[in-house]
Homo-oligomer: A and B are copies of this chain.
Amino acid sequence: MKPATNRTRQNDPEGFRSRVLDVAAGLFQVNGYHATSIKDVMQAASASGGALHHHFPTKKQLALAVIRDRVAPAVRDTWIEPVRRATSLGKGVTAVFKAIAAGLAARESVAGCPLNNLALELSLSEPELRGAINEIFSEWQSILAQRIGETGGGARLDRAKRMEAAAFIVAVYSGAMTLAKSAQSAAPLRSAAGVLARWLRERDFAQ
């Protein structure tokens, strides 16, 4: 092992781990989990095989860390916290769609929602990773159901119906992101946001 690699590991293991997770999350997002090899991650992160193996003995363990330490925080930052802090559910949901559509439009390509991408690629074939993916969907739906419960329309519903409405919002977003990725355009996301905002108002979930 080269001294430089050793020094990096000894001096800043957290920085090394963080850099590898950033690189792996980016590669999984753009190319997918299966199309990304450990060698790709090593090269893009300028990491030695030994150092990478020390932190992530298998590719699956690397993916699990990406889901927990990169994908989950991304969903919290873009969806969960903005919805939690919004003055109303309608304003929160509309602002989230708008921010994500603006982000897509600013880039030249639509890589899609990292949670969506990994959910479809891994849920059937990798049961351990599916559990971690499902936890994020649950957390996301729970905050939406909670905010729905605080609205006039939601106060009249039982918990199951609030969860159903929350899952509907997540489904609209996930499906619209699939259409946006397929069209390589933010337009499907904006279009779905408009229809969804009206649905929220008519269900008396907006305020």
Contacts and interface: CB of A to CB of B under 8 A. Distances in A.
A124 B111 contact: yes
A205 to B, nearest CB: 12
> Helix, strand, loop or mixed for chain A's interface?
helix
Contacts of A173: 175
B179 A174 contact: yes
A182 B134 contact: yes
Contacts of A165: 195
A85 interface: no
Interface residues of A, number: 46
A120 B168 CA distance: 20
A171 B199 contact: no
B178 A191 contact: no
B181 A167 contact: no
Contacts of A207: none
Interface stretch (A28-36, A49-57, A58-66, A76-84): A28-36
B175 A178 contact: yes
Interface in A129-160: 130, 133-134, 137
Listed residue (A109, A119, A171, A196) with the most chain B CB atoms within 10 angstroms of its CB: A171
